[in-house]
Amino acid sequence: MKTENNLKATIRSIPNFPKKGIVFRDITTLLKDPKALQEVVDLFYRAYKDKNITKVVSVESRGFIFGGALAYRLDAGFVPIRKKGKLPAQTFSEEYVLEYGTDTIEIHEDAIEPGDRVIIHDDLLATGGTIAAACRLVERLQADIVGLSFLIELSFLNGRERIKQYPIQTLITYDSE
């Protein structure tokens, strides 16, 4: 079994991407390692296997990778949350603030039933804006959010503060840029 440090070693850090001063955490190097990929899915599965999860909701796009695999392992449905205009049927939308403006995410109106037991998964917890908006969408559909899961948390950005009312599972934490 890989430890957090072993999993962290499979992630490539790219300085000054997408802009100067940012270190981008590239998970494609973890994804190409079959053992690391399996370990991540197994760790998330073990965290939620006894929680009677009915839906795994994931935010596009990298969140879909582990969210889909986790839904399969949990015998749950998979629900995508996408950027505005990407879903074909009737949607609910939620706007959220970014450091440089706003963005909007959407979910199909019929994606979740009231009382569904949901995990919301994304690859990265940074400032928490996207995942907080995803939580508002899921709650609008009257589901129970059992937990939030992330492969990576950038703890120095304090995103956890915006979603502290939910149980949070992260596998890898970066305490500084």
Compute φ and ψ for 29, nearest 5 degrees.
-75, -35
Q: Which residues are catalytic?
A: 62, 99
Q: What is the pLDDT of residue 176?
A: 85
How high is the mean pLDDT of the chain? 95
Q: Label residue 17 by pLDDT band (50, 70, 90).
A: very high
The per-residue pLDDT for 175 is 94
* pLDDT band at residue 2 using 50, 70 and 90 as cut-offs: low
The sheet with strand 77-83 has its strands ordered as: 91-98, 101-108, 77-83, 55-59, 117-125, 144-154, 168-174
Confidence of residue 177 (pLDDT cuts 50, 70, 90): confident
Instruction: State pTM to two decimals.
Output: 0.94
Per-residue confidence band for 101, with pLDDT thresholds at 50, 70 and 90 = confident
39 in Cβ contact with 10 (< 8 Å): no
Which pLDDT score is estimated for 156? 95
- The DSSP symbol for 28 reads H
- Check pLDDT > 90 for residue 165: yes
Average pLDDT over residues 107-112: 98
H helices then E strands: how many in the chain?
A: 5, 9
pLDDT band with cut points at 50, 70 and 90 for residue 97:
confident
Q: Check whether 60 has a pLDDT greater than 90.
A: yes
Identify which of 127, 154, 152, 122 has the alpha carbon closest to the alpha carbon of residue 11: 152
Taking residue 167's Cβ as centre, other Cβ atoms within 10 Å add up to 15
- Which pLDDT score is estimated for 100? 73
- Domains by residue range for the chain, with CATH: 50-174 (3.40.50.2020)
Contact 147, 84 (CB under 8 A): no
Q: What would the pLDDT profile of 115-157 be if each residue is shown by its tens digit?
A: 999 999 999 999 999 999 999 999 999 999 999 999 999 999 9
pLDDT of 174 = 96
| Torsion, CA 154, CA 50, CA 82, CA 174, rounded to 10 | 10
Task: Flag whether pLDDT at 114 surpasses 80.
Answer: yes
Which pair of tokens denotes residue 98?
A: 């970014």
